[in-house]
Amino acid sequence: MLEKVEGFNMEKVIEEFEEVTKDAGRVQIETLRKILEDNSEAEYLQNLGLNGRTDPQSFKNCVPLVTHKELEPYINRMIDGDLSSILTSKPITTMSLSSGTTQGKPKFVPWNDELFETTVQIYKTSFAFRNKEFPITSGKALSFIYSSKQFKTKGGLAAGTATTNVFRNSRYTVAMQALKSQCCSPEEVIFGPDFHQSLYCHLLCGLIFCDEVQFVSSTFAHSIVHSFRTFEQVWEDLVADIRDGVLSERVTVPSLRNAMSKILKSDPNLANIIQTKIMGLSNWYGLIQELFPNAKYVYGIMTGSMEPYLKKLRHYAGDLPLLTSDYGSSEGWIATNVNPTLPPESALYTVLPQIGYFEFIPQNKGDSDFIDVEPEPVGLTQVKVGQEYEIVITTPAGLYRYRLGDVVKVMGFYNSSPQLKFVRRSSLLLTINIDKNTEKDLQLAVEEASKFLAEEKLEVVDYTSYVDVSKDPGHYVIVWEISGEASEEVLSECCNCLDKSFVDAGYTSSRKVNCIGALELRVVRHGTFQKILEHYIGLGSAVSQFKTPRCVGSNNAKVLQILNENVVNKYISSAFNN
């Protein structure tokens, strides 16, 4: 049974949230003051001439906007073992690795105890609002979470993904117990060295404790979908394990076998119940709610690049609500979902003004895209509803006026704190000429074209894209992995539909005059995107932190190689043929 842990007061957490959001402007000033005072000895800040000043105007006058590229020399010194006060007064001893799916390789960002505290604050706040709408009792969570290996940098710093740094913190388990969110899998499964075997054990633990599971979760929706796609392939082995009380030979890691031996006992009755439930399903619809009858919801990040997985996730979840979690990045947290009853597509994230200092760069539209001078950033409470902004964060871990690269739209305010909707990454996704197509544009095109597949009871398992400029004119290449065999006729229709579904004026006008060539649809072998996942895991990413790159840049040679080596069919659009 879940160990009872005192210390979580839902009403108090909500009350505190109300207080800080009602006075978000003042809280922001205090948050900045504390960050700058705590790090006044940092070389980076001292060189910029703040001289102890902590007010927002002095901060903006002295400290420049930066990207990771400008901070890399400082971060590299820390990685190499320089323990002086470089970005923070207290030396950084741990680094987080980003997922690396945007730039092709992971980047190091500083991590410290203060960031862990903001993580707990976010978890507590979102749980309070979640539990208010969907109360859970003492039980367990089936959490598909994985900790990649921590390693030592050349200078002796611990390094791992942001999720790894959270899971490995000694206070994480205590915090999760307080939030009634204890994972039903033992720690050995979370920290296992082979994610295939850890996933199998997660699924097995979920079945063993199926009546106690209160919700199903992972960091990202992709991980939940991947888990239940895997379940479709291995369920008979899982049922056999429960029937016989003997762990499958799929699991070879000694620590996993030892941990599971303490949980797995022969239970033919449970095995029969699970088998009967599975045999009664129609095309796996409602699998999650059928297996876990006391589960209240499915939980994880489901917005932005995760939206394409929602259709499949809803299929597995049946009537269970999908609740999107919080908004953050490897660099730090930003906002939380305080209205979990909204579907993920409509979800809004309310900024927590006490966890960092936030600025927002207004995004120009239309002809103003060609203006060289970028607008000045505005403060948290100065943003305007309906306007799009790029987020700039200042964190307790040594990132000052750091351009996160995310563009959000302000949809309203919760008290005086803005509510945000993620729009896109600020870097353009697909562009050759004057065309500008974002990740969302690509998603909408894929959704439209995949309707032809649905008529044949097929689906797009995953997708990505890239720009091919090896020949003139350059053209878009869309890559699909699909769930079965589709006819040439249907895939040709899909290809034409993709081409026509990019409605950006720059794209359509360029296609009509052949400044952009005909779109190409490439279909790859089953398991291709699994190979891409494994490639990123090899770079140090964690499964639960993985995001499929929706546009593969020319610098991402290994992923392009994987895609090109697994092509089984190519189709060229005739949509703009005269």
User: How does pLDDT run across 405-436, given as a tens digit for each residue?
Assistant: 889 999 999 999 999 998 877 765 788 877 88
Backbone angles phi, psi at 279, to 5 degrees: -65, -20
Token digits for 73? 């020399």
pLDDT tens digit sequence for 10-49? 889 999 999 999 999 999 999 999 999 999 999 999 999 8
| The pLDDT value given to residue 293 | 96
**Among 329, 401, 334, CA closest to 126:** 334
Overall average pLDDT of the 71-93 stretch: 89
Overall average pLDDT of the 50-74 stretch: 93
Overall average pLDDT of the 159-168 stretch: 72
pLDDT at 4 over 60: no
pLDDT at 369 over 80: no
pLDDT at 400 over 80: yes
User: pTM of the entire structure?
Assistant: 0.82
Q: Which helix (H) or strand (E) holds 310?
A: helix 310-317
The answer to which of 131-135, 158-162, 327-331 has the lowest mean pLDDT is: 158-162
Overall average pLDDT of the 521-544 stretch: 85
Q: List the domain boundaries for the chain.
A: 12-113+353-425, 135-320, 429-572
Overall average pLDDT of the 194-223 stretch: 93
Residue 19 CB contacts under 8 Å (≥ 6 apart), including other chains: none
pLDDT at 290 over 70: yes
- Is the model more confident about 356 or about 512? 356
pLDDT at 453 over 70: yes
pLDDT at 302 over 90: yes
Q: How far apart are CA 450 and CA 444, in angstroms?
A: 10
| The pLDDT value given to residue 578 | 63
pLDDT at 393 over 50: yes
What percentage of the chain reaches a pLDDT higher than 90? Answer: 59
- Is the model more confident about 344 or about 556? 344
Cβ pair 352, 390 in contact under 8 A? no
Strand partners, 243: none
Token digits for 578? 């005269």
| The pLDDT value given to residue 117 | 86
Sign of CA dihedral 405, 113, 335, 150: positive
pLDDT at 503 over 70: yes
In this structure, the strands spanning 388-394 and 297-301 are unpaired
| The pLDDT value given to residue 103 | 53
pLDDT tens digit sequence for 235-248? 999 999 999 999 99
**Among 391, 414, 405, 422, CA closest to 325:** 422
The answer to which of 158-172, 266-280, 398-412 has the lowest mean pLDDT is: 158-172
| The pLDDT value given to residue 267 | 97
Q: How far apart are CA 527 and CA 529, in angstroms?
A: 6
